Chains A and B, each alone.
Chain A
Amino acid sequence: MRAELEKCVRCGQCRARCPSLDANAEGKPGWDVYGPRGRMMLAQGLVDGKIQPSKIVQDSIFTCFYCNQCVATCPSLANVTDIILDARKYLVEQSSAAPQVLQVHDTIAETKNMFGLDQEDRIELWSADVSELVERHVGKHAPVLFFVGCQASFKGGLASIPVRMVQVLDKLGEDFTLLGEDEACCGNPMDLTGGPDDKVKDLAEANVNKIVELGVKRVIFTCPGCYRIFKNVYPKLLGKPLPFTCLMASEYLVEKIQSNAIDLQPVLMPGKVVYHDPCELGRHMGIYNEPRDVLKSIPGIDLVEFKHNKEDCNCCGMGGGVALHDGKVSDYQARAKSADIAEIGAGTVVTHCPACFQGIEKACDGLRTAGMDVKVFDLVEIVAKSLGIE
Chain B
Amino acid sequence: MLSKDIIKELEAAVGAGNCSTDDAVLYTYGFDVSDVFGKPDVVVRPGTVEEIANCVKVCAKYKIPVIPRGAGSGATGGAVAPTGGVMVDMTRMNKIHDLDLANLQVTVQPGVVVDQLNQFLKPHKFFYPVIPGSDKMATIGGVVANDASGMRAFKYGTAKDYLLGATFVMADGSIVPFGCKALKNVAGLDLLRLFAGSEGTLGIMAEFRLKILPLPPSRGILIAYFDDLETAGKAVINTYQAGIVPSAIEVMDKSALEVVRKFKPQTGVKIAEAMLLFELEGDQDFVKSQTNRLCDVLDALGSRDREFSADPKEAEKLWSARSSVGAATSVFKEGYSRVYEGEDICVPLTEMPKTLQKLRELREKYRLGTVIFGHIGIGSVHPAITIRKSEEKDWKAMKDLAAEIHAWALSVGGTVTGEHGIGVARKEFMGMMYPQAYEVMKKVKHALDPDNIMNPGKIF
Contacts and interface: CB of A to CB of B under 8 A. Distances in A.
A31 B20 contact: yes
Nearest to B29: A32
Nearest to B116: A16
Contacts of B239: none
A32 B28 contact: yes
A355 interface: no
A13 B137 contact: yes
B243 to A, nearest CB: 36
B23 A41 contact: no
Interface size class of B (residues with CB under 8 A): 35 or more
Contact of A16 (B31, B137, B325): B137
Contact of B73 (A3, A7, A12, A56): A12
Contacts of B222: none
A12 B72 contact: yes
B263 A52 contact: no
Contact of A45 (B27, B73, B327, B328): B27
A9 B28 contact: no
Interface centre among B91, B340, B390 (most CB of A within 10 A): B91
Given A9-B33, A41-B31, A76 B331 contact: yes
Contacts of B335: 3
Interface in B1-42: 20, 22-25, 27-29, 31-33
Interface size class of A (residues with CB under 8 A): 20 to 34
Given A6-B337, A32-B28, A41-B31, A11 B94 contact: no
A29 B136 contact: no
A75 B28 contact: no
Interface in A5-57: 6-7, 9-13, 15-16, 28-29, 31-33, 37-38, 41-42, 45, 50-52, 54, 56-57
Contacts of B92: 28-29
Contact of B338 (A9, A16, A32, A77): A9
A51 B340 CA distance: 25
Given A6-B337, A29-B91, A76-B330, A42 B137 contact: no
A15 B27 contact: no
A9 B134 CA distance: 13
A75 B134 CA distance: 11
Nearest to A52: B23
A60 interface: yes
B207 interface: no
B367 interface: no
A77 B331 CA distance: 7
Contacts of B262: 77
A12 B28 contact: no
Contact of B326 (A11, A32, A51): A11
Contacts of B137: 11-13, 15-16
Given A13-B137, A32-B72, A7 B330 contact: yes
Contacts of A10: 31-33, 72-73
Interface in B61-120: 71-73, 89, 91-92, 94, 111, 113, 115
Interface centre among B45, B136, B326 (most CB of A within 10 A): B136
Nearest to A40: B28
B442 interface: no
Nearest to B92: A29
Interface in B318-342: 324-328, 330-331, 335, 337-338, 340
Contacts of B31: 10, 41
Nearest to A29: B91
B389 interface: yes
Contact of B327 (A15, A28, A76): A76
A11 B337 CA distance: 13
Interface of A: 2-3, 6-7, 9-13, 15-16, 28-29, 31-33, 37-38, 41-42, 45, 50-52, 54, 56-57, 60, 75-78
7 contacts: A11-B326, A16-B113, A29-B94, A31-B89, A41-B28, A54-B23, A75-B326
Given A12-B134, A75-B328, 14 more contacts: A3-B335, A6-B330, A6-B337, A7-B330, A7-B337, A9-B338, A10-B72, A11-B33, A12-B71, A12-B137, A13-B324, A45-B28, A51-B27, A75-B325
Interface of B: 20, 22-25, 27-29, 31-33, 45, 71-73, 89, 91-92, 94, 111, 113, 115, 134, 136-137, 262-263, 324-328, 330-331, 335, 337-338, 340, 389-390
